[in-house]
Amino acid sequence: MILIAVIARVLFVTYQKNAFRNFDYECYFDKGEVSEGDEVDLIEIVTNRKLMPVPWLKSEITTSKWLDFAGSQSLVTEETRFVPSFFMMKSFHKTVRRWHVKCLKRGVYTIDRVILITTDLFGMASRSNTYHVGATLTVLPEGADLSADFDAAQKLSGDVIVRRHYIDDPFYRAGIKEYSPRDPINRIHWPATAKTGKLMVHNNQFSADQDLLVILNVQSRDYERDTVIDTEKIENGIRICAGYFEDTLRSGIPVRFAANTNFSGDRSSIITNSFHGAEHVGDLMETLARIPLRSSDAFPVFLSGACRELTASDIVIVTSYLGEAIFDYARSKREAGSQVRIIYTTLLTDEYVPDDCPVFGYLGKERSLQ
Amino acid sequence: MMKQNARVFKVILRFSALFCFFLSPFPVFSLIVQKVKLPAVYYLYSVLMLEFCGFFGFGLRALLESMRRIRSFLISILLVLFGIVFSFGACLAFASLGIHPVYIVILTVTVGILYIFSVRMISHAYDEILTRNWFLFSSGFNIFCLLVAHFTVAEFSAEPMLIVYICCVALFAVILNQRGIDVVMDRRGHSASQLPPKIRYYNMILVGIILTIALLLIIFRTPVVNGAKAAFSAVGGVVLKFLGWFGGLFALEKQPEVELDSVPSDIDEDFTAIGESGDPLVSRIAVIVILALIVLISIRPVYRKLRSLVSRIVLAIKKWLHRERIFRGRSFDENEYYTDTNETVEHDGKTIQDLSPSRALRAWKREIKSFQKMPDSKEKLTIGYHLACRGLELHGYKIEPGDTQLDILKKARERLSGEAFETATWCYDALVFGGYEDDLKLKEMEQSLLGIRALPAAKK
């Protein structure tokens, strides 16, 4: 009996003191940046570099519910996914566990710390330790398909908006035409004149520096304060913005982004520089990934304030509700020479849309596939 | 399948726990067997009697409960009736032994109590049978019986009681261990299916190792205690010598010539012969204090050294076992949601290589021989190509998982002369991606392997 008591005591003390001695834990994602719907591996590496085995070990990973893994083994509460992971660590043993994670929604996800819990052989001594892991994963939004996912509010027939400027571009030639008194003399096409016997001039195209401004409204309803109520609408908006950004990669036009939200929680807004290229678009996508579901300012105030001075040849306003302030802003920008489109983040049903404002409803991925 | 195994495992544990639980009254039987001086075989009869009694009550309750037509109050009445009849029968059986009526009464009452408990065990899970309370009761009961035996039975042998007690405690340790796993899983509502495979077996192995050490300590307690005593007295002797020498130094200052000779030359184990001029009590206290200090100062470094030594030995054994592919656990475990890769590591966390380069090369050469003996087939070509790739790696060519056949061929061309490997590669390529002809070019593959074998070994 004394021997039993001694052995039990020795085991208790040994586990209590040495359970986490010469013991390493690492946890990280195998990729730093992925897109919505992509799969990524969450890797846990547990190393027991000592003689004493750890017969039962549990790591408690707490992350966002939008990182889907561990299925029924995980516990989801509101926005959190709690995943227990069990190990059996022999002496001088290393286990590398790869969880297959599906990224359901855009965002920047971090696993700051993981709690490890172990007990001795007889469940007498229980030890826990917190390991700071700092695993971060950026899930970029999946861009909407700009060619298929939209529905126009106006009739397809009728007025067509065309771009025309006062002065044409002498470097873009569309062909030749008959001379008119308004044409400069230096544009006369002499071979054509000789051939036709009439004065013929070069017919030039109109061109302008094209750039795109995408304005996102992070307010799902017009009377909404700070926190977003209809989150799915805003997520749709973010996807639409992502679609536009991706599109600029193909066309190569500069793009800038503005949104009535920020990362710091104050009243400032996001307004980026206008630039082109993969790196800039990558930054914009990361910005979209990080956008919190919280508005910093009412959208009409944002439009009339921070966005008033912003100009671009093309302006896209992505919003979850429509209102006179938005239409007024669109009209004013059109009058200033920009081409403006308003993208409504859900299907257009009974919303009032004035005839002079081009509004498009977002069908959503599922609907557009039907 | 895993769930079914776990269920079977728990059923086995439950019946083992019941088996041990029914042996709880064994000290009474052991005491009476020795008091009445019955032959040794009666220990076995006692065990069988107790098990029969226990499983009879348990089985009877289970049988009656399985009959749905019988009402619960009727079950209770039937159980009581059967209990009375069973106790009466046991009483008659004990009486037939011709022992004193008091013993008959004691044994009958014991059997009766056991019957009552066994009937109640029907609803108990494996970890509710052998509990901590049971352990405390059983230990106390054993001590009580030993004390009674000490005062009432001349030449009492505690061995039968001890053996049964150790067996029960061993099973209790296993149950405690398994219960620990279940409790920590249930506490937060985790399913047992989330546990790594074979965790229960591994835990049982660990418990088994500890129990074996405990058993060895019990069996060899005399030499262990004697060894400890000898070590302690040896250290004590050294301390005594030191004290004598130290005391002698002071004495030297006063009476140098006389006191030099007075250093004790013969030191006995009782520490009484310290400095003839000194007080024996003071000397003894000094020795104890110094010993205590030595133990206090040296216990940690000694423990660390010992731990490090044992750890190195175990690691060396593990390495050897790993490389010889003996007792190697599964390297990969797959679950619905994750995959595990298990590795053996060294003190610094580096993974132990499966085989040393020279051993791997030897193994590869052996595989070439078995390749040569294989009958001609598509499989042989595939095996040959894989062997060639491994051979190239063993000879210092770094082959990445993403390398195509062409990449590998380009690397091989650097030092491998002749067209054999190229021909074999294209043949293998055609076999994998389609378009191969009947000629498998196995001769070329063999030539390639022999060519690779002839290459100089990779530099370390």
**Per the structure block, which two tokens stand in for B400?**
């990445």
The pLDDT value recorded for residue A110 is: 92
Cβ atoms B263, B277 nearer than 8 A: no
What is the model's pLDDT at position B381?
86
Q: Is A123 on the interface with B (CB under 8 A)?
A: yes
Suggest the residue from A26, A75, A86 to mutate for an interface test with chain B (most B CBs closer than 10 A): A86
Residue A88 contacts B, CB cutoff 8 Å: yes
Do the domain assignments include residue B443?
yes
DSSP secondary structure letters along A306-332 = TTTT---SEEEEEESS--HHHHHHHHH
A71 touches chain B (CB under 8 A): yes
d(CA A203, CA A198): 15
Among B271, B306, B323, the domain boundary falls at: B323
B159 located within any domain? yes
Same domain, B191 and B66: yes
Of residues A19 and B3, the one with the higher pLDDT is A19
Q: What is the pLDDT of residues B381-401, one digit of tens each?
A: 888 898 898 888 888 888 887
Residue B344 is assigned to a structural domain of this protein: no
pLDDT band, very low/low/confident/very high, at A299 (cuts 50, 70, 90): very high
Q: Is B352 helix (H, G, I), strand (E, B) or coil?
A: coil
**A182-201 residue pLDDT tens:** 888 888 889 999 998 889 98
Mapping DSSP to helix (H, G, I), strand (E, B) and coil, where does residue A95 land?
strand
What value does the mean pLDDT take over residues A328-343? 89
- Does residue A17 belong to the interface with chain B, where contact is any CB pair within 8 Å? no
Tokens of B289: 């204090």
pLDDT band at A242 (very low <50, low <70, confident <90, very high): very high
- H/E element holding B417? none
Q: How confident is the model at residue B326 (pLDDT cuts 50, 70, 90)?
A: low
Burial of A59 (0-12, 13-18, 19+ CB in 10 A): buried
Name the pLDDT band for A148 (thresholds 50, 70, 90): low
Which one has a higher pLDDT value, B290 or B203?
B203
A244 touches chain B (CB under 8 A): no
Tell me: do B190 and B59 sit in the same domain. Answer: yes
For A300-318, how does the pLDDT look when each residue is reduced to its tens digit (9 = 90+)? 999 998 888 888 888 999 9
Cβ of B202 within 8 Å of Cβ of A88? The answer is yes
Task: Specify the pLDDT at position A281.
Answer: 92
Q: Considering the domain boundaries, does residue B328 fall inside one?
A: no
Give the pLDDT of residue B3: 65
Residue, of A251 and B251, whose pLDDT is higher: A251
Q: Tell whether B117 is covered by a domain.
A: yes
pLDDT digits (tens, 9 = 90+) for B269-300: 444 444 444 566 666 677 777 777 877 787 77
Rounded to whole angstroms, how far apart are CA atoms A187 and A177? 11
Do A314 and A211 form a contact (C-beta atoms < 8 A)?
yes
Mean pLDDT of all residues in B28-41:
86
pLDDT at residue number B2: 61
Q: Distance from B413 to chain A by nearest Cα, in Å?
A: 35
The reported pLDDT for the residue numbered A214 is: 93
Please report whether residue B346 resides in a domain. no
CB-nearest partner of B184 from A47, A71, A123: A123
Q: pLDDT at residue B349 above 90?
A: no
User: Is the pLDDT score of B192 beyond 60?
Assistant: yes
pLDDT surpasses 80 at A264: yes
Q: What is the pLDDT of residues A108-135, one digit of tens each?
A: 999 999 999 888 888 777 888 999 998 9
Q: Mean pLDDT, to the nearest integer, of A204-210?
A: 66
User: Stretch A37-48: mean pLDDT, rounded?
Assistant: 91
Burial call A93-113: b when 16+ CB within 10 Å, e when fewer: bbbbbbbbbebebbbbbebee
pLDDT at residue A156 above 80? no
pLDDT for the residue numbered A123: 78
Q: What is the pTM of this model?
A: 0.69
Side chain identity at B143, as an amino acid letter? I
Residue A30 φ then ψ, to 5°: -75, -10
pLDDT range class, residue B260, cuts 50, 70, 90: very low
How many domains would you assign to chain B?
3
Could you give the CA distance from residue B207 to residue A55 in angstroms, rounded to a whole number? 10
Q: Is the pLDDT of residue B366 over 80?
A: yes
Residue A157: which pLDDT band, with cuts at 50, 70 and 90?
Answer: very low
Distance of CA B1 to the CA centre of its chain: 25
pLDDT, residue B278, reads: 52
Distance CA A50, CA A334 (A): 72
DSSP bridge partners of B340: A97, B333
Cα(B374)–Cα(A207) distance, rounded to whole angstroms?
A: 75
pLDDT for B330 equals 57
Contact A233, A320 (CB under 8 A): yes
Q: Which residues contact B123 (CB under 8 A, 6 or more apart)?
A: none
Could you tell me if B375 and B417 lie in one domain? yes
- The whole-number pLDDT of residue A78 equals 83
Q: Are residues B39 and B111 in the same domain?
A: yes
Query: What is the percent of chain B where pLDDT is above 90?
Result: 4
Average pLDDT estimate for A161-189: 73
Q: B293 CA to chain A: closest CA distance, Å?
A: 22
Q: Please check whether residues B189 and B233 belong to one and the same domain.
A: no
Of B314, B338, B343, the CB nearest to A99: B338
Q: Looking at the partner chain, which of B184, B195, B345 has a beta carbon nearest the beta carbon of A119?
A: B184
* pLDDT top residue among A169 and A315: A315
Are the C-beta atoms of B83 and B115 separated by less than 8 Å?
yes
Query: Are residue B293 and residue B373 in the same domain, yes or no?
Result: no
Residue where a domain stops, chosen among B219, B253, B268: B219
Predicted-complex ipTM score:
0.71
User: Mind listing the pLDDT tens digit for each residue in B213-240?
Assistant: 888 888 888 888 898 888 878 877 887 7
CA angle A204, A205, A210 (to 5 degrees): 145
A181, pLDDT greater than 60: yes
| Owning domain of residue B182 | 2-219
CA distances to A140, A265, B179, B187 from A243, rounded to whole Å, are: 11, 26, 55, 47
Same domain, B231 and B198: no
Cβ contact A88–B196 (<8 Å): yes
Cβ pair A11:B210 closer than 8 A: yes
Q: Which domains does chain A have, with CATH numbers?
A: 21-140 (2.60.40.10), 150-163+209-369 (3.40.50.410), 172-205 (no CATH)
Q: Look at B195 and A3 and tell me if their CB atoms are within 8 Å.
A: no
**Predicted local distance difference test score (pLDDT) of residue B400:** 82
Alpha carbon distances (Å) from A297 to A217, A232, A310, B389: 10, 19, 17, 64
Cα A321 to Cα A357: distance, rounded to the nearest angstrom: 14
Token pair 């107790």 is at which residue? Answer: B50
Interface test with B, best of A1, A4, A21, A93 (most B CBs within 10 A): A4
What percentage of residues in chain A have a pLDDT greater than 90? 30
CB contact under 8 A, A94 and B195: no
Verify that B28 and B120 share a domain, yes or no. yes
Question: What does the DSSP 8-state code read for residue B189?
Answer: T
What would the mean pLDDT of A244-268 be, rounded to a whole number?
87
Nearest to B344 among A58, A92, A119 (CB): A92
User: pLDDT band for position A257 (50/70/90)?
Assistant: very high
Domain assignment present for B198: yes
Task: Please tell me the distance from the alpha carbon of residue B459 to that of residue A209, in angstroms, as a whole number.
Answer: 62
pLDDT tens digit sequence for B13-31: 899 999 999 999 999 888 8
Domain finish residue from B157, B187, B219 = B219
Buried b (16+ CB within 10 A) or exposed e, A153-163: beeeeeeeeee
Cβ atoms of residues A312 and A134 within 8 Å: no
Enter the DSSP assignment of A186: G
In a domain, B109, yes or no: yes
Which pLDDT value is given to residue A217?
93
Instruction: State residue B274's pLDDT score.
Output: 46
Q: Are residues B390 and B281 in the same domain?
A: no
Q: Are residues B230 and B194 in the same domain?
A: no
Q: From CA A340, how far away is CA A334, in angstroms rounded?
A: 6
**One domain, residues B302 and B399:** no
Task: Indicate whether B117 and B236 sit together in one domain.
Answer: no
What CA–CA distance (Å, rounded) separates B47 from B24? 10
Residue in this structure with the two tokens 């596939």, named with its chain if needed: A369
- The shortest CB-CB distance from A92 to any of B181, B203, B346 is to B346
- Distance from the Cα of A74 to chain B's closest Cα (Å) equals 9
Residues in B closer than 8 angstroms to A94, CB to CB, are: 342-345, 349, 351
> Per residue in B125-178, pLDDT tens?
888 888 888 988 998 999 998 888 888 877 778 888 888 988 898 898 888 888
